[in-house]
Amino acid sequence: METVEMNSVSLKRPRSEDDVANADEIKRQKILEKPKAGNDSGQSIENPAEQTEDTKSEIIPNEESEEQEEEELEDSDEDGDAESFADMMKHGLTESDVGITKFVSSHKGFSGILKERYSDFVVHEIGKDGRVSHLDDFSVPVDDEVNFEDPSEETFTVLSDEDKQRLEELQLFKNKETSVAIEVIEDTKEKRTIIHQAVKSLFPGLETKTEDRDGKKYIIAYHAAGKKALANPRKHSWPKSRGSYCHFVLYKENKDTMDAINVLSKFLRVKPNIFSYMGTKDKRAITVQEIAVLRITAQRLAHLNKCLMNFKLGNFSYKNHPLKLGELQGNHFTVVLRNITGTDDQIEQAMHSLREIGFINYYGMQRFGTTAVPTYQIGRAILQNNWNEVMDLILKPRPGAEKGYLVKCREEWAKTKDPAAALKKLPVKRCVEGQLLRGLLKYGMKNIISAFGIIPRNNRLMYIHSYQSYVWNNMVSKRIEEYGLRAVPGDLILKGATAVHIEEGDVDNYTIHDVVMPLPGFDVIYPKHKIGEAYKEMLVADNLDINNMRHKIRDYSLSGAYRKIIIRPQNVNWEVVAYDDPKIPLFTTDLDKLEGKPLPVLPTDGKFRALKMEFSLPPSTYATMAIREVLKMDTSIKNQTQLNTTWLR
C-alpha cells in the first residue's frame, strides 16, 4: 500500500509480486521447519491483510500522518506472536457454512489453485454500451481552448519540497497563516507564470498574485473561497467548451477500488468524493475500470503515472456527466487456475457445461468475511435490534485471520470493556473495530446505536446485506435440491421489474435460466411452493418477521430484490497451457502490451499444467462461483490455503 507524505510527496514503493513471493517462500520455509502437532499446513500465498467489503473505510481529512502510520502497519508482516495465516484459517469459513452446497453440472471435478498470484486474476469492466474497458492509450486530449490550469511538465518540479509543505498547510488550514510568499529567484514573466500555474494546479482552492517586496518579486498564494474551495474545484478557470468530468481508465494491481481512489485523491490533494465509478473491483487481482473525476485535467492525472506504483491511468476524455454505481453491463474475466489435475476430457466437459448450463448464482465467500465471526451474524443482530450483540460480535476475541494488534485490542476489550483502553492497543483506528470504539468513547456504552453509526454507512449496510446473501444462498441450495434444474409451478420470474409466479399451464414456456428468487425484505413476494415456506421458517428461527422487514432505524430496513438462480456466462473461452516456473505469467496484460512486452514463452512439455479461461458475467455475480462449478471444489480461503501449502511442498 502506498504511503504518501503530503508535504514532500514521498512514496513508499510496494514490493514487486516476485519480491512478495520470495518473502512468502522464506516464511513458508520457517513454518515448515517449525514442528506442529497434528497439523501439516503452512503459510498461504493468499494475502492475510486482504480486506473484505465490511472493513473498507473512508479517508479522514487532515490526518495524513495517522494514515501513513496505519498504512504501514496494514502492510507490515510483523504481527508479533500471531499465528501463521494458514494456521489461523483453519478457523475460517467454508462454503457450506454460508449455504453454498450444490452444483448443476455432472462432470467429475478436479483440483486447481485460484489466485496463486494476483496477476492470475484479471478483470475488465464492461460499460453500459457493451464496450470492454482496456488501457491502451496514454495520450492526453488536446482542447480547442487553451486552459490556464493545464500544467506543463515544469509545473511539477518548479516548487521546492519546502514550498509544497507550506502551501499544503495553507491549503488545508493547518496553521494560522493567511498567505504564503514564494520568492521568484529567476525573475522572468515565463518563470512567474509557471509558479502561478503550479500553485493553482497542485493546490486546488488557492489563488495567486505577484507582489514586489524590498526590490524582489514574490508570488503570494492565498485562499480564494475559504474552506469550501477544498470540496468545490474552481469553476472560473475551466473552459466552457470542455466537459466538467475527466473520464479515464484505471489499471490497478492488488488494490481495491476505494483504496485506489484514496491514493489518487491524496496525490491530487482533493477529496475522494469528486471521483465516481460504476462498480468496485477485487483487491487481489489486476483490474481495469472506468473512473470519472470532477474538474481535474487529464494532464494532472497523466502525471501520476510517473509517481505511483501498481497504478496506471490512460484513455482520457472529457464528458459532461459522472459515472453511477450499477451502470455497468458486467465484467470480463481472464483467470488462470494453476497446477490443475484434471484430464483433458474432464476439462472439456467442465468448460462446455459452464458455457451451456452455467452455475448457481451464489454470493461468493468474500461476502461473509474471513474470521470465525461471519458478517451475516452481525447483520442478523442489527435486524433483530440486538445492539449489545452487535457490539460483542464486532469486538470480542475470535480465532481467524487477524493482525496481531487486533488480537491485543480484542483481549483488552474482553478483559476491561473499556473502549479507551482497547483503542490504545489499536494503532490502526480506521478499521471497523477502531471506529466503533471511538463511537463508544463519544456516545457512551448505553448508546451503542449512535456509536455504531460512526462506522461509514456503506460498511454498516454491508452487514445486513451479508445476512440477505446468507439467506439467499441457503434457499437457492434448497430450491435446487427440491426441484432440480427445471422451472416449476410457483417459481418466480421477472416481467420488467415485477416478479410473477409461474402458473401450471405456463411451465413449458420457461427454463431454469428464467427463474429468480427473492432477497428477503419488504415489498417482495416469495415462491408458491416449499421454498416459500422455507424462507419463513428460516427467518422465524432467526427471530425475524418475514412480513415486516422494516427497522425502526430507516437505514436498516431491508428492501427486497430478486436474483437469478442460474447464470450462464458469455464469451466463454479456455486453453490448457504447460509451464515449469510457478512465477512466470501465463498471459499478457494491458500494461504488458502498452510496454511492448512479448508473450510468455511456454514449454510444450512443462511439468505443470494450468487452465486459462475467459468469460463475461453480469453485475453482482461472482467469478469465484463460476470457477467453483468448473473445479467442483470449495473456493474458500480456508480450503485454498491448504491447497497452496500442499502445492508448494
| Residues taking part in catalysis | 282
Nearest to 393 by CA among 468, 444, 467, 457: 467
Strand order in the sheet with 216-223: 179-183, 216-223, 206-213
Gyration radius of the chain's alpha carbons? 27
Decide: helix, strand or coil at residue 314.
strand
For residues 339 and 646, is the Cβ–Cβ distance under 8 A?
Answer: no
Q: What are the backbone angles phi and psi of residue 623, rounded to the nearest 5°?
A: -60, -35
Q: What is the Cα–Cα distance from 62 to 74, expressed in whole angstroms?
A: 20
Q: What are the backbone angles phi and psi of residue 268, rounded to the nearest 5°?
A: -85, -10
Strands (E), 480-607: 492-495, 498-501, 515-519, 561-564, 566-567, 570-579
Q: Which residue has the cell 519546502?
A: 162
DSSP letters along 45-76, please? SS-TTPPPGGG--PPPTT-HHHHHHHHHHHH-
CA torsion through residues 189, 6, 281, 572, sign: positive
For residues 249 and 260, is the Cβ–Cβ distance under 8 A?
Answer: no
Q: What is the Cα–Cα distance from 32 to 11, expressed in whole angstroms?
A: 35
Paired residues of 277 in beta bridges: 291
Rounded to whole angstroms, what are the CA distances from 77 to 73, 402, 404, 495? 8, 12, 10, 52
Nearest to 427 by CA among 78, 43, 53, 54: 78
Q: For residue 149, give the C-alpha cell.
A: 490550469
CA atoms within 13 A on the CB side of 192: 15
Type of residue found at 36: K
Q: What are the backbone angles phi and psi of residue 91, rounded to the nearest 5°?
A: -95, 0
Q: What is the Cα–Cα distance from 31 to 35, expressed in whole angstroms?
A: 8
Q: What 3 state SS string does 498-516 have?
A: EEEECCHHHHHHCCHHHEE
Q: What is the Cα–Cα distance from 601 to 581, expressed in whole angstroms?
A: 11
Q: What is the Cα–Cα distance from 164 to 151, expressed in whole angstroms?
A: 16
Q: What are the backbone angles phi and psi of residue 281, rounded to the nearest 5°?
A: -120, 160
Q: What is the Cα–Cα distance from 458 to 273, expressed in whole angstroms?
A: 14
- Characterise 465 by phi-psi region: left (phi > 0), alpha (psi -120 to 50), beta (else): alpha
CA torsion through residues 344, 350, 353, 355, sign: negative
For residues 398 and 410, is the Cβ–Cβ distance under 8 A?
Answer: yes
For residues 2 and 260, is the Cβ–Cβ distance under 8 A?
Answer: no
Q: Which residues contact 240 (CB under 8 A, 6 or more apart)?
A: 145
